[in-house]
Amino acid sequence: MVRRNRGCNGLDHVISRRGFTAGGMSAALALPALAASAPHADLRRGHKRILQIYLQGGVSQFESWDPKPGTLYGGPFRAIETSVPGMRICELLPHTAQRMHHLSLVRSVNLKTNDHGVGRKIMERGRRQEGYPYVGAVAAKYFAPTGNPLPGYIHISTRGLIDDTDAFLGPRYAQLRLEGVQPPENIRRLPTVTSGSFRRRNLFRLRLNQRAARRGQTARTDLYNGSFEQAQQLMSRRSLFEKEPPASDLERYGTHFFARNCIFARNLLEQGVTCVKVTHHGYDTHAENFNFHLEQLGEFDQPFATLLDDLHARGLLESTLVVVMSEFGRTPKINRMYGRDHWGASLSVALGGCGIKPGMIVGKTNHQGTEVADREVDGGHLFHTYFQALGLDTTRPHEKPGNPVPIGDPAMAPIDELLA
């Protein structure tokens, strides 16, 4: 086996330490001012949520949602029956196959790009143009409940991928990226600062705020105050990030990073976080595609299936939109290193939960899987579908002073046959 080429020779995923720190800190500190109250208050009274599972690098549609066994490009894996009669997916997903009655498939996504960054942004923003907010930021803006000290948009990712997720919505709606099950940085009071000193500093801060308010200088102080106050509330919730999963959960989910991150995602959704995104890295399979999908999807399958079970059993699935996505798919043709390269012309997405009809297949690719043969859509159609499933009118404008911008791309429309 050749050594894994992670991320196209590393060029697409290089990020500077300075950029990481700036992006992480802006997201971690620029958070909304919320009053402290019980995080469970809105959970079963209409609070809508999104769970995004992002298979970074581009999962192969052939080895997941749209298998083509026995064809020129189909590869060695079989298609297996699922809990939905007539729906077959790749044998690398046996646990998920038995939960497909909770999900639907879109097999006809064409992004018209083979670039990691462009594909990711189309799938997240529903637009090709720069300057638009990501799915999680929009969800945090319009669905985050009041009275929750946790951020509205949390991204669990073990490395990189720092994007401008909030755009013009403002940094309070940006992702807070966490490197696995650990608390955000800089929310612990320094041991050199006593509780009395902390209170005095806080009183001094409030006096400065009052002085700024008398002078009409409130915009920047309001932003800082919101950041400071939620940071204070996060300090009191450190236990949520530090608690070891119970043995019973680890037995059901698994003990590796992705399994633990799925348990963490479930807990965050239960605590009222509006959008939780979990990134599973390692699908950029330019070499040894079949071996690496065997490994990667073997790690993905059981934790994801168990997470679906738990959301359903706890009454959360009916109010949580679940999306499994990538920035593109993989080429039909196998290259000389037994890999599949970038392919944005025909990829698949799995989604279900809140507002989505389960057990459906929308669109199809041709016999060889080389192109979309029916019901072509792109990230803009998916973006409309996600939010209309949650009950948000995506034709209405964002609250952007002086320049109203439609929430969804006006040139696109939702996939109506998926909407419950």
Residues 89 and 143 in one domain: yes
Average pLDDT of the residues of the chain: 86
- pLDDT, average across residues 49-64: 98
Place of tokens 């300057």: 131
Domain that holds residue 376: 8-181+245-418
User: Is residue 335 domain-shared with residue 200, that is, in the same domain?
Assistant: no
For residue 220, what pLDDT is reported? 65
Comparing CA positions, the residue from 200, 121, 214, 138 lying closest to residue 172 is 138
**Number of domains into which the chain is organized:** 2
Q: Within this chain, do residues 229 and 293 fall inside the same structural domain, yes or no?
A: no
> Would residue 365 count as lying in a domain?
yes
pLDDT reading at 349 higher than 70 = yes
> Comparing C-alpha atoms, which of 278, 151, 135, 335 is closest to residue 226?
151
For residue 269, give the nearest of 239, 218, 225, 308 by alpha carbon: 308
Does a structural domain hold residue 229?
A: yes
13 pLDDT more than 60:
no
User: 228 and 170, same structural domain?
Assistant: no
Are 64 and 97 part of one and the same domain? Answer: yes
Residue 2 domain-assigned? no
**Is the domain of 205 the same as that of 149?**
no
Q: Is the pLDDT at 416 greater than 50, yes or no?
A: yes
Q: Sorting pLDDT into bands at 50, 70 and 90, what band is 211?
A: confident
Q: What is the mean pLDDT of residues 31-40?
A: 34
Residue 3 within a domain: no
pLDDT, tens only, 258-317: 999 999 999 999 999 999 999 999 999 999 999 999 999 999 999 999 999 999 999 999
Instruction: Characterize the bridge pairing of strands 364-365 and 372-374.
Output: antiparallel
- Percentage, residues of the chain above pLDDT 70: 83
CA distance 376 to 355: 21
Does residue 168 sit in the same domain as residue 273?
A: yes
Q: What is the pLDDT of residue 194?
A: 86
* pTM reported for the whole predicted model: 0.85
pLDDT tens, residue by residue, 176-206? 888 877 766 666 778 888 888 878 888 888 8
Distance between CA atoms of residues 48 and 407, nearest Å: 17
Same domain, 76 and 207: no
Do residues 152 and 198 both lie within one domain? no
What was the pLDDT predicted at 8?
Answer: 61
DSSP 331: -
CA–CA separation, 122 and 33 (whole Å): 30
Both 232 and 98 in a single domain?
Answer: no
Predicted local distance difference test score (pLDDT) of residue 227: 65
Confidence (pLDDT) at 320 = 98
Describe the crossing of helices 379-389 and 135-143 by its angle, rounded to 10 degrees: 20
Rank 40-54, 160-174, 385-399 by mean pLDDT and report only the highest: 385-399
Is the same domain home to 174 and 199? no
- Can you spell out the DSSP letters for 48-88? -EEEEEEETTT--STTTTS--TTSTT--SPPEEE-SSTT-E
Q: Select from 201, 219, 242 the last residue of a domain.
A: 242
pLDDT digits (tens, 9 = 90+) for 351-363: 999 999 999 999 9
Q: Is residue 1 part of a domain?
A: no
Domain membership flag for residue 207: yes
The answer to whether residue 169 is domain-embedded is yes
Q: Find the CATH number of the domain harbouring 287.
A: 3.40.720.10
Residues 217 and 357 in one domain: no
Task: Categorize the per-residue pLDDT at 45 as very low, low, confident or very high, splitting at 50, 70 and 90.
Answer: low
Q: Could you read off the pLDDT of 76-121 as tens digits, one per residue?
A: 999 999 999 999 999 999 999 999 999 999 999 999 999 999 999 9
Task: Calculate mean pLDDT across residues 319-347.
Answer: 98
**55 inside domain:** yes
